[in-house]
Amino acid sequence: MKSPHPADTRTNPNLDFLRACAVLLVLLGHLTRFFGVDQVGRVALIGLGGLGVAMFFVHTALVLMMSLEREAVGAPILFVPFMIRRCFRIYPLAIFVIAVVMVLHAPQATVSPGHFAGWNFDRTDALANLFLVQDLSFRVPIVGPTWSLSFELQMYLLLPGIFLFLRRGWPAWQLGIILAMLLGLCVVVVDHSTTRNLAFFVPCFLAGIVSYQLQKYVPPVIPSFAWPAFVTGVAAVYLMSKMTRWDEWLVCFVLGLGIPAFTRMTSRAVDATSAMIAKYSYGIYLTHFFVIWLAFEKLSGAPVILRVGIFLGLGAALPVIFYHSVEEPMIQFGKRMANSYVRGRELRHAVTK
C-alpha cells in the first residue's frame, strides 16, 4: 500500500517535528545568549534564534497554503475569512503578553550575556507593538521575539493571492522564472536597505510555498526515520557556516525541497512529543524571554536548583495555561466569525440571484 503523503492529513508529525525544532532553537538560542555561550567548537550558537525563526517561516507558509487549499470557498471571499482566522490566531495572546510586560515594566526587549534590557516606550511604541507593526513604524519591540510577528502578518496579506495565482495551474518553467525574479528582487531590496524589512524574509516564506507545490508531484520515498537527522543536519551545517543572508535562504530552500520527499514519522514517542511542543509553541515563543529573565536574572540570588525549577516549571506551565485560557478560545472564536462571514456572503449572493 502506498505510504500516505506528509501533507495528506491535517495532523502531520513531520511538520510538528519541524515546528517543535524551530521553537526549541529559538529558546535555546536566547538561553545560551543569556549565559554567554555563543560558540561551541565550530558551531555558532548565536545563530540558533535566527535559524529557528527561518524554520518557522518555512513551516508557516507551507501549512497556511495547505489550509487555504482545504478551506477555499471561492476567490471573491477567500481573503477575508483567511485574515479573520489568522488575526484571531496571532493577535490575542501577543496583545496579552505585550500588555502584561508593559504593565510590569519588565525588561523584555533584548537579551545579552547575563542581562535583559527594556525600553522606555511611549504611547506610539505601545500602539505599534500591540498592533504588531513595529518594523513598519520603525519602533522597537517591547517583547523581543515579537519582531517576527510583524513580518508574518505582512506575509499573511500576500498568501491568499499567491494561492489563487498558483491554483491557475501555471507550468513549472513559468513558475521557476517568476520565483527567480522574486528572489532577484529580494536581493536588490536587501542590498539597498538600511533597515530590516519583509524582503529579508520573503525567500524563507517562498521556500514553504515551493514545498507546497512540490508535494503535488514528489512522492515521499525517503524513510521517515531520516527526517529528524535531515533537519538536524541542515541546522548544523548552517550553524557552522558564515550564517549570511544567503546561507539562511539556502537552508530554507533545502528544507522546503526536502519536506515532500520524506514519509510520515511513525515513532509514537517522537510524534507525541513533537505534537505537544508544536501545540504550545506560540506560547513558548512569546513567554520564554520572561521565564529566562525571571528565573536567572530577577532571582539570581536564589539557589540554583530553585532557579532551574522555576525555569522548567514556568516554561512548561505558562504556554499551557495561556493556550487553554487565551489562545485556543480565540482561535475557535475566529473560526466561528470566519464561517459566519462565509455563510452571510453566500446567503446575500443567493438572495441577489
Map residue 40 onto helix, strand or coil. strand
Calculate ∠ Cα 161-165-166, nearest 5°: 120
When pLDDT is averaged across residues 230-257 and rounded to a whole number, the result is 96
Closest CA to 150 of 174, 134, 167: 134
Average pLDDT, the chain: 93
pLDDT digits (tens, 9 = 90+) for 32-43: 999 999 999 999
**What separation, in Å, do the N-terminal and C-terminal C-alpha atoms of the chain show?**
47
* Runs of H (alpha helix) within 167-280: 172-191, 202-214, 227-239, 245-258, 268-279
Average pLDDT over residues 238-260: 96
Q: What pLDDT shows up at residue 351? A: 75
Q: Which three cell numbers stand for residue 279?
A: 501545540
| pTM (2 d.p.) | 0.94
Please report the pLDDT score of residue 70 as a whole number.
85
In this prediction, residue 3 has a pLDDT band, given cuts at 50, 70 and 90, of very low
Q: Is 114 left (phi over 0), alpha (psi -120 to 50) or beta?
A: left
- Grade residue 332 by pLDDT with cuts at 50, 70 and 90: very high
Q: What is the Rg, in whole angstroms, of the alpha carbon atoms belonging to the chain?
A: 21
Region 313-340: mean pLDDT is 97
Instruction: Please state the rounded mean pLDDT for residues 103-130.
Output: 96
Q: Which helix (H) or strand (E) holds 112?
A: strand 110-112
Q: List phi, psi (to 5°) of 48.
A: -60, -45
Three-state DSSP class for residue 44? strand
Q: How far is CA 59 from CA 152, 188, 230, in A?
A: 12, 25, 15
Q: Which residue has the higher pLDDT, 99 or 8?
A: 99
